[in-house]
Amino acid sequence: MPNLRSYAVILAFLCVPSGWASTDTAYSKADVETAILLRDDAMSGTRAWNIVESLTTEVGPRLAGSEAEARARDWAVKNLTRYGFENVRVEAFMIEGWRRGAETAEVVSPFPQKLAITSLGNSVATPPNGVEAEVVLFESLAALRAAPDDSLKSKIAYVGHAMKRTQDGSSYGHFVRLRSAAAVEAGRRGAIATLIRSIGTDSHRMPHTGNMSYSTDVTPIPIAALSNPDADQLERMAQRGQSIRVKLTLTPSYTGVVQSGNVVAELPGSDLADELVVIGGHLDSWDLGTGAIDDGAGVAITMEVLRRIKEAGLKPRRTIRLVLWGAEEVGLLGGYAYADKYKDTLRNHVIGTESDFGAGRIWKITRNINEQAKAVADKIAELVEPLGIAPGSNSARSSGPDLSPMNAQGFPGFRFVQDGSDYFDLHHTPDDTLDKIDPAAMDQNVAAYLVFVWMAANSNVSDWGWPAEK
Ligand code: ZN
Ligand code: ZN
């Protein structure tokens, strides 16, 4: 198997004489050969794990808008520059900051004991000494919504859910609505605080945080998530038919307008330099763990893809742009800032995808592309099939969370779907740490991304399916 050092020789041989098989071919034979070399070399071992080890050890948790997120940007600029990428820069934007405070909860009666909880991101605080009230339990967001107005006056609402693990994490999109909406729905009915069952699939006393939002027409009330075993405990107490009183203390605070930013780096293209193939992951994480799977893994996988292309001495036709997004966790703010900053040149983004579903192996491709791009996309699928990756539907206009503001404007979809069977065991908990990552699975991701990026950056296809301009 050729190593990276032999690339220059092999490629000099491959690239010069072969060229395009014919003018109507979507891709060249030489690019297929290069993609195979990149793929196979990555499968024999990459530095992706070393990169996520560096980020999670040297920076650690990196909450959006915090001093730690700024250190993560410094870490990224330092390393992207060291790798020899070009146009390395921070594209700053401002956000409303939020910081976690103290957080405790306990059952006061009838069975006094502590509960494992965590504030949801953006929650308001309780009074410094907390609130104590009777808990009213609901099994789902729908059940809470069915409760009459004012029915929760001076009560604490508890809302459960029935999320179960899936390979592709597809149930998250449905159940996460509880996290977003519970405080508003409970507040609208007069509650003074809200507890939810964590949006997660583990059975540990690890509450899951995550962002929530308020509505201007409802007074904000504090909200926290119980770990799954603590939610089970509360539900069992309720089955005994006695009134349950809980004391809840949360002291998060808003930190005003603070800076976040996307970090950008490029491998400039040769003859089609204005056209972009964009990949990346989000640099911010929640503050409880070190954000190894969410999303240090995506940052590391995509950094390593560019690093290997650069190290092999390869020059793509199109510019390969890496974006390490800021403030994803608090509302895709980096993605929106990017789509706004480049609003006049969005169509230069030919295709791209974000890695943001942990460090598990890729098992499927989804996309939403036109007929013209089908030949090259099908070739990508064929080239990654030996990695255990199957073709999926062509109806998923998603390229990952931070590219979704661009997808909404017509950016064609492409996504590698990772095995997320255990993703929601760890997601947004103190347990999101480096030891959960299998380096070999990251190598498989790097191999697949290399095939995608190299073929997309060099094919004859510039239009993957942006809708016709009005
Ligand atoms: Zn994420
Ligand atoms: Zn997340």
Which ligand gives the minimal distance to the CA of 280? Answer: 1
Name the DSSP class of 121.
B
How is residue 339 written in tokens?
């789509």
Q: What is the pTM of this model?
A: 0.95
Which ligand gives the minimal distance to the CA of 211? Answer: 2
Tokens 């004391």, located at residue:
247
Residue burial 178-190, b: 16+ Cβ < 10 Å; e: rest: bbbbbbbbbbbbb
Report how far ligand 1's centroid is from the alpha carbon of 115 (Å).
Answer: 27
Tell me, what's the pLDDT at 10? 52
CA Rg value for the chain: 24
Q: Catalytic residue among 266, 328, 329, 354, which?
A: 328
Q: How confident is the model over 250-259, as pLDDT tens digits?
A: 999 999 999 9
Tell me, what's the pLDDT at 4? 52
Strand 223-226 relative to strand 193-197: parallel, antiparallel, unpaired?
parallel
Report how far ligand 1's centroid is from the alpha carbon of 396 (Å).
Answer: 19
Which ligand gives the minimal distance to the CA of 427? Answer: 2
Instruction: Kindly report the number of other CB atoms within 10 A of residue 341's CB atom.
Output: 12
Is-catalytic flag, 86? no
Which ligand gives the minimal distance to the CA of 330? Answer: 2
Tell me, what's the pLDDT at 400? 97
Report how far ligand 2's centroid is from the alpha carbon of 70 (Å).
Answer: 18
Tell me, what's the pLDDT at 3? 53
Report how far ligand 2's centroid is from the alpha carbon of 119 (Å).
Answer: 15
Give yes or no for a cis peptide into 295 (omega within 30° of 0): yes
Tokens 């597809």, located at residue:
170
Task: State which residues have CB under 5 angstroms from ligand 2, the bound ion.
Answer: 294, 329
Tell me, what's the pLDDT at 252? 98
Tell me, what's the pLDDT at 263? 99
CA distances in angstroms from 244 to 103, 187, 192, 204, 225, listed in the order given: 20, 19, 15, 23, 17
**Which secondary-structure segment (H or E) carries 337?**
helix 333-341
Tell me, what's the pLDDT at 24? 56
Report how far ligand 1's centroid is from the alpha carbon of 136 (Å).
Answer: 32
Report how far ligand 1's centroid is from the alpha carbon of 301 (Å).
Answer: 14
Q: How confident is the model over 255-275, as pLDDT tens digits?
A: 999 999 999 999 999 999 999
Report how far ligand 2's centroid is from the alpha carbon of 291 (Å).
Answer: 8
Pick out the chain residues at pLDDT < 70.
1-24
Tell me, what's the pLDDT at 15? 47
